[in-house]
Amino acid sequence: MLDNLPRGTICIEDIEMGMSRYLRKVVTDEDIEMFAQVSTDRNPVHLDDDYANETIFQGRIAHGMLTAGLISAVIGEQLPGHGTVYMGQSLKFLAPVRPGDMVYAEVKVTDIDHAKRRVRLDCHCAVEGKKVLVGEATVLAPSRKFD
């Protein structure tokens, strides 16, 4: 048995169909600036009000992958949690996220392969109840048993 699993980690043995977890986060100007710094994506639609006002978005928007990172946070911190290994992720961006938006990110278990420790999760992010991102993730869940 693995006794060193962090508190809150949900092992493959305990994951059930329909389980879900979520987080809420306000995306700030500082978040966008830090993401630009780390990712080196300095597209002015994210950073320059004057430029962004002249785009189809009519204002600055957060990086799509910053929003997608909130899905990663739910998976890596809550369901299944620490020790989870990402195997794949599909994403579709439906609407922009703007500085100051409260993003609701949720994942829900849609398929479990206990033998392979694989879990499929439906993923979405929403702002004011409107979905801004949808997708699906496949992860390798931690186990209490040694392989």
Do the domain assignments include residue 1?
no
**What proportion of the chain, given as a percentage, has pLDDT over 70?**
94
Structural domain boundaries, residue 22: 17-140
**pTM of the predicted model, to two decimals?**
0.92
Q: How many domains does the chain have?
A: 1
Bridge partners of residue 25, in order along the sequence: 103
User: Residue 69: what pLDDT?
Assistant: 98
Residue 109: give its domain's CATH number: 3.10.129.10
Do the domain assignments include residue 35?
yes
Assess contact for 106 and 18: CB atoms under 8 A. Answer: no
Do the domain assignments include residue 40?
yes
Do the domain assignments include residue 3?
no
Tell whether the model's pLDDT for residue 147 goes beyond 90: no
- Return the closest-CA partner of residue 39 out of 62, 73, 60: 62
The SS3 assignment for 87 reads strand
